[in-house]
Amino acid sequence: MAQQDPKSVRSASRQARPDDPTDRVRLIQIEGTGDEAWALILRAADELGDMSALELEVDFNPEDSHDPGGLRDALQSRGLVMQAFENERRAFCLVIRHADSPAVLDLSDLEAPLPMEAILEAAATLGAGEFLFARTPCFPRPLLSLLDRRGLDWQVVEEPDGGGLVWVGRPD
């Protein structure tokens, strides 16, 4: 019913901090639309860290599901919000994050190098302890060394359609 995608990488600076092992971005694929799927979604959401986002690939549109608004309401009662995106495989990606976290920059429709430039521009405005999330059309390999050179922490998870969910943070 649920699979976690193991294709996740993080900056050396994040790896070097044993006091902060938290995944900032995580991807789980959920099959089905029943109560069991919703229970898995809510259980994963309950484990979400303060500066983290959870991306779920589901095979249903949360706006047209058997319980319209129910998932969104359940997440809101936990202080979480959800953004829904349709991907190329006609599945839906739900990105769940804390309500006080920044919204996900959806750069997945942009051609290279625009997503990388947008992330670097947004990252340049981050203050100490601030972070951002972004969705990219492909795994942003060229971006990672540029983030390292700027002294930023990062983590990327590769999506099933080849895109990426990126977390970038400026250390305290």
Q: Where are the domains of the chain?
A: 2-169
The Cα 55–Cα 83 span in angstroms is 9
Using pLDDT thresholds of 50, 70 and 90, give the confidence band for residue 23: confident
* pLDDT for res 99: 94
Which pTM does this prediction carry?
0.86
Q: Given this model, what pLDDT does residue 3 score? A: 40
% of the chain beyond a pLDDT of 90:
48
Q: Encode pLDDT of 58-99 as tens digits.
A: 777 766 655 555 788 889 999 999 998 877 666 788 899 999
Range with the largest mean pLDDT of 5-19, 44-58, 126-140: 126-140
Q: What is the pLDDT of residue 8?
A: 80
Q: Tell me the residue ranges of DSSP E strands in the chain.
A: 2-4, 8-10, 25-30, 53-58, 80-86, 92-98, 104-106, 131-136, 153-158, 164-169
Q: Report yes or no: 103 and 83 within 8 Å, Cβ to Cβ.
A: yes
Return d(Cα 74, Cα 40) in angstroms, integer. Answer: 13
Mean of all residue pLDDT scores within the chain: 84
Q: Is residue 44 scored above 60 in pLDDT?
A: yes
Condensed to tens digits (0 to 9), the pLDDT of residues 47-58 reads: 888 889 998 887
